[in-house]
Amino acid sequence: MIQKYLNKSNYSLFIFLSFFMSLIIVHIFYLAVINPLAFEYMAYAQLNNLSPERHFSVILKDPEQKICLTLFLWSLLIGLFNYFLLEEDYKSLKNDNDPLLSELNEQINSDTSNKEIYGILIENKFDLFQLDLSFIKYISWAIPSIGFIGTVRGIGEALSQAAEAIDGDITGMTTSLGVAFNSTFTALLLSIILMFFITRIEYKQDNLIVMLRAKFLAK
């Protein structure tokens, strides 16, 4: 049933809906899990004048990490949409039912110019694949950048609390430094995972192009 909705005509709608889906899922996750746990660990550290424990809730508690997680989930959903479309193309091509292959077969005859058109259309298909991934690649670049914004913000806050640290109260400074390092750590980790996912999609796309060329050469 789901294949019925997985087509290019629904792509823009899916991008729009998946963004709000990601926003809601991450927001609920923060309200239910991250915020309560982070508040507990931060309160304990402040009462005892200690550095906060390196718990996952403390690492993820800041707005930069929340934005990164939202973008990460959004890009994963878009990537899965593209992957399912590729799977459908792959199965169709394997069974000689691919729409592009059928269209090209109708155009090709013994004339050389038509055969050259086939090669051009295959290259066009490859370019379209690259366009499909351009937005996800942009997000994979944006996530570390947002993490670095958190780093700059955290270091700035830490420097503004240097006087309190000199007086013996290091809680504010360590908390701010935690913001600086945690945001970069989270962003880089998510970016690595996302780039692996993009690489798998590109591998699937390249396989499809190779199959199209092989079908053409077999004619």
Backbone angles phi, psi at 170, to 5 degrees: -95, 0
> Which of 141, 145, 3 lies closest to 81 in space, CA to CA?
3
> Which of 87, 95, 58 lies closest to 181 in space, CA to CA?
58
d(C-alpha 186, C-alpha 66), whole Å: 10
For residue 35, how many C-alpha atoms fall within 13 Å in the half-sphere facing its CB?
Answer: 9
> In this structure, which amino acid lies at residue 203?
Y
> pTM surpassing 0.85?
no
Residues 72-110: tens digit of each pLDDT: 999 999 988 888 888 777 777 666 665 655 655 555 554
Burial class (CB in 10 A: 0-12, 13-18, 19+), 117: middle
> In this structure, which amino acid lies at residue 160?
S
> In this structure, which amino acid lies at residue 117?
I
DSSP conformation letters of 171-197 = HHHHHHHHHHHHHHHHHHHHHHHHHHH
Radius of gyration, alpha carbons of the chain: 25
Per-residue pLDDT of the chain (219 residues; tens, 9 = 90+): 344 444 556 777 888 899 999 999 999 999 999 999 988 888 887 777 677 777 888 888 889 999 999 999 999 999 888 888 887 777 776 666 656 556 555 555 544 455 566 666 666 666 677 777 888 889 989 999 998 888 888 777 777 766 665 666 656 666 667 677 888 899 999 999 999 999 988 888 888 777 777 766 665
